[in-house]
Amino acid sequence: MQKKRKRISKSYFFIVSDDPNKPVILRRLRKGSVNFWRVIALIFISALVVFAAYTNYRHEVILVREQALKETIEELKAENASLKSDNESMLDKINILSETVNQKKEIEKEVESKMLPTGFPLSGAADVKDKDEELRIDGELVLRPLLEFVVADGIYVIASGDGVVSNVSEEVTYGYEVRIDHGNGYVSVYRTDSEPKVKTGDQVSRGGLIYEIECDDDDTAKFAYQIIYNEEYIDPNDMLEING
């Protein structure tokens, strides 16, 4: 019996030149060389696959990050718009509050101004002279500044500022005395012989009627006006605002 020959595979490669006159060269590759190049090719292909997979992964990661950044940017834009709207609303409220505070200050200033006894205490013209009322208190001579008006019949004695009537009483020198507490340390005092038109506890406004001058025998009557500040009598001329 003849032994079967073992078939040996052989690998060849051709070297072909661009010159048609040169012959084609046939080269034989050894088995070891073939295996080597196969391994090299496998490594190269594997590297390409890994690189492609890594590149794709990086691309997806970048896309995810970009999407997350876009969403974050949109959220920040929305939040910024909301804050801008809230800020504008807050500024409007601040402006309204500021106007309200300014108006309140103006009103308070106007009220305080009206409570100062600076108005003229008569509804018409009259002759006036400065006097110092002399009193003996505990044996000591005390001088109290006073304006004494000579007024005609029918003239009104009016409040020189807003306040509350704190006292209505009879007195020896002029007949009746009315005191108005202005609530700021000032008290105005009105004294004449006509009967008062107010009573204790009445709220009066600047220009409000206190007396109507009534002359019985003469055509004129006397009216005395004083101002007290923090329980001390002061010169009424320092407070009066006289126009004309």
**What would the pLDDT profile of 199-229 be if each residue is shown by its tens digit?**
999 999 999 999 999 887 778 899 999 999 9
Summarize pLDDT for 57-103 with one digit per residue, the tens.
888 889 888 898 888 898 888 888 888 888 888 888 888 888 877 88
- Region 229-239 average pLDDT: 94
Report residue 12 CA to chain centroid gap.
95
Among 19-33, 97-111, 150-164, 204-218, name the one with the lowest average pLDDT. Answer: 19-33
Residues contacting residue 109 through CB under 8 Å, at least 6 positions apart: none
Element (H, E) at 49: helix 31-115
Distances (CA, A) of 239 to 180, 221, 226: 15, 24, 10
- 41 CB contacts (<8 Å, ≥6 apart)? none
179 closest CA partner among 156, 196, 154: 196
Give the count of beta carbons closer than 10 Å to the beta carbon of residue 176.
Answer: 17
Residue type, 41: A
Residue 108 to residue 118: CA distance in whole angstroms:
17
Q: Is it the case that residue 151 has pLDDT exceeding 90?
A: yes
Burial class (CB in 10 A: 0-12, 13-18, 19+), 226: buried
Residue 165 phi, psi (nearest 5): -70, 115
Q: Give CA 165 to chain center in angstroms.
A: 39
Is the C-alpha dihedral spanning 201, 202, 204, 210 positive or negative?
A: negative
% of the chain beyond a pLDDT of 70: 85
Continuous segment of H or E residues that includes residue 224: strand 220-229
Sign, CA dihedral 148-203-193-214, equals positive
CA angle (181, 239, 110) in 5-degree steps: 65
Phi, psi torsion values for 96, nearest 5 degrees: -65, -45
CA distance 186 to 34: 122
Angle at 95 between CA 89 and CA 100, to 5 degrees: 125
